[in-house]
Amino acid sequence: MPHIFYGKQTGDFVILDEHESRHLRVIRVSVGQKLFVTDGKGNLYNCELIELGKLESKAVVRNVEQTEINKLSKITLCIASQNWERLRFLLEKAVELGVDELIIYKTKRSKLYIDKEEKIRLIIRDAAKQSVRYLFPELRIFRDMSFLQNESMKTVVLHQSGRAAKIDDFKGSLRIVVGPEGDFESEEINQLSQVGTFLNLGKKILRFETAAILAAGLSSFLNGKI
């Protein structure tokens, strides 16, 4: 599969930003060459590059097709992390696995990542392009656990204290909540218990990113995301 780029449609053209323009230069794309560009909303543009700049590039659209649409089931992965590299790794894998929404939230034992939103969006973009995904996951970042206010969603909390997980737990629309490396505090566990089912993924003690990848992978496979 050829390289996939990200761009924003403006009339008969797509505009590629500095990040994408750098990618174009790295792989030595020149003016006049064909490009495949996605807007991250499920559309694929067959284009021809007409301008290559350092801060911005431009391509003319030859045709467009909708290649991905939202499916009935929605997988949301909610992540709290103290370690940036582990968070980054988990974000990449979640995108590859077809997670529909990524929520990064703050607990007492995790960091706040609002200041890294732009970097996070680039990680999501690059992971989506790498896995040839045209519909990028939504991203929301919270300063606390207020994302839990949507109590209508089926929610599972990955935690060693929970009951043994079953295959059916991962079928259908699902919100998966994973805590930080140092675990939740007692008041946070009480808050989560009001809206979610605590699930234990097995006999081994898994790192938070391993547990999240396993749960997201199961849900994605069972719901036809991958």
pLDDT in tens, 58-84: 999 999 987 777 767 899 999 999 999
pLDDT in tens, 186-212: 999 999 999 999 999 988 889 999 999
Q: What is the pLDDT of residue 177?
A: 97
Reported confidence tier of residue 112, pLDDT bands at 50, 70, 90: very high
Beta bridge partner(s), residue 174: 75
Phi-psi region of 2 (alpha: psi -120 to 50; beta: other; left: phi over 0): beta
Helix, strand or coil for residue 194? coil
For the four alpha carbons of 24, 26, 27 and 31, in that order, the dihedral sign comes to: positive
More reliable by pLDDT, 225 or 45 = 45
The chain-wide mean pLDDT, for the chain, equals: 93
Both 84 and 196 in a single domain? yes
Rounded Cα distance between 141 and 133, Å, is 22
CATH number at residue 202: 3.40.1280.10
Reported confidence tier of residue 226, pLDDT bands at 50, 70, 90: confident
Both 93 and 183 in a single domain? yes
Number of structural domains the chain divides into: 2
User: pTM of the entire structure?
Assistant: 0.92
- H/E stretch holding 210 reads helix 208-222
Q: Are 4 and 36 in contact (CB under 8 A)?
A: yes
Q: What is the pLDDT of residue 1?
A: 54
Q: Where in the sequence is the domain holding 90, given as residue range(s)?
A: 75-222
Phi, psi (5° rounding) for residue 13?
-130, 165
Both 111 and 217 in a single domain? yes
Residue with tokens 């081994």: 204
